[in-house]
Chain A
Amino acid sequence: MGFWRIPLDTTDIDIARGRVHILEERCKGCGYCIEFCPKKALAFSSKFNQKGYHPPYMIKPDECVNCHYCEIICPEFAIFSVEVEPAEEKQA
């Protein structure tokens, strides 16, 4: 995401981090989460689920800022994100 100027408090702000969980068997492959992810962190995977759709997967797992938009736009209750604590992130 580009900024037209760098915000003055950039160094003080801790950006939230999230981890996306995908319930692949519920997915119907509409692609809303992929299209509207503000970080473009998701993509269609090449594998099929039981119903024959391609569920999404994280191409850039480190980019997730836990905005929950994939969770609220998903019509299938098939994706959600949880916040990752900064300490947990360092360990991982």
Chain B
Amino acid sequence: MSVHVEVRNIEQTVLDTSEALAFVDAPGNGAGALFVGVVRDWNQGRKVKGVSYDVFAPLAEQSFAEICAEAREKWGEPCRIFVAHGKGRLEVGGLSIVIAAGSPHRGEAFAVCRYVIEEIKSRSPVWKQEHYVDGDSEWVKGHALCGHD
């Protein structure tokens, strides 16, 4: 398999960048690119202490697979892609998503990582609830999926 997609319970097993890079490594690939999403300690002027990620896992994994297939069609079949998105609560500094792409040349690897994260942010059924230092929590306003048919 050239693609690995996964929703992982990050309260049990943290995401691992070395696992992602190892998966996309191949003798014919001269480049490996890595993207990680990290919980930061502020958003829109509010101090954040953690984020909970809610995921509809079956459909999320299917959307990840579709996005990866699109990326391989655009940037070439030799591409190997790893996507793991966290589900559960993370504190500041925790990894929420790890994407890695391996390809013969660096251009494709960078492009694939960028494409995959942008598409996930607008298409995949994942929701983020921020927890603030003042004790309040709020679901982040997101992207509506395509309009009603």
Do A and B truly interact?
no
Q: Interface on B for A, CB 8 Å cutoff?
A: none
Interface of A toward B, CB cutoff 8 Å: none
